[in-house]
Chain A
């Protein structure tokens, strides 16, 4: 019979006792960027709804979305989108069983950070 051990298991160390590491920071950033993209997504849906409604309403919403604050939100959303995309590719690579050792994981982390900054700037220039 298997041993039934309830309520007497060793407790794993809590998150707070760890020194921040590249792998932990890039992991939490994936979650933050993914969920924060809701704000940019709401703006995008609002913009489409305004375009479908009338020219006047579209002018108002498009003005808000392309205002200074709108531009800042969309620029940060664009970075979040590219970061989350690259971090997602990293997870797909890990899911295949490859590059799970620490040096490779850290290389992928720097690639996601650097790649997302480059992609954001390139995209902002093209658009």
Chain B
């Protein structure tokens, strides 16, 4: 007779595997975005349709550049974590892995492209 407790049988099973890390990462990035999104909307928005020199001069200033860069980092991390949940819910089997890899690459690709652009404008 084997003596298995309920806990021993449950450890390592379930959908979470890594515990609450994903939940906490989403919570952290969502609270950060609560501050960043309004700041970004009202700094990026008015620049749409403005002349090139005005846009470059504006995003060379510290505040708009830092807000835009932080929004890219936290926003695309949040997107990457969020789209992963959608894939895990709707895509099965091997396709799930490919979809998660693809969307993670897209997220970090867009994040770094945006950061490169802001750095080039600001520096």
B116 within 8 A of A: yes
* Bound-state Cα–Cα, A122 to B6, Å: 55
Contact code string B12-30 (vs A, CB < 8 Å = 1, else 0): 0000000000000001001
Q: Say which size band chain B's interface belongs to.
A: 35 or more
A88 touches which one: B34, B45, B48, B79 (CB < 8 A)?
A: B34
The answer on a CB contact under 8 Å between B48 and A65 is yes
Find the B residue at minimum CB distance from A70: B48
Secondary structure of the B side of the interface?
helix
B4 within 8 A of A: yes
The answer on a CB contact under 8 Å between B30 and A92 is yes
Secondary structure of the A side of the interface?
helix
The answer on a CB contact under 8 Å between A44 and B52 is no
* Bound-state Cα–Cα, A42 to B37, Å: 16
* Bound-state Cα–Cα, A66 to B50, Å: 10
Q: Which residues of B contact A (CB under 8 A)?
A: 4-6, 9, 27, 30-31, 33-34, 37, 41-42, 44-46, 48-50, 52-53, 55-56, 59, 68, 72, 75-76, 79, 82-83, 86, 106, 110, 113-114, 116-118, 120-121
Could you list 14 A-B pairs, sorted by A, with CB under 8 Å? A4-B9, A31-B86, A34-B82, A44-B114, A45-B114, A48-B118, A51-B55, A58-B52, A62-B48, A81-B41, A89-B34, A95-B27, A127-B42, A127-B45
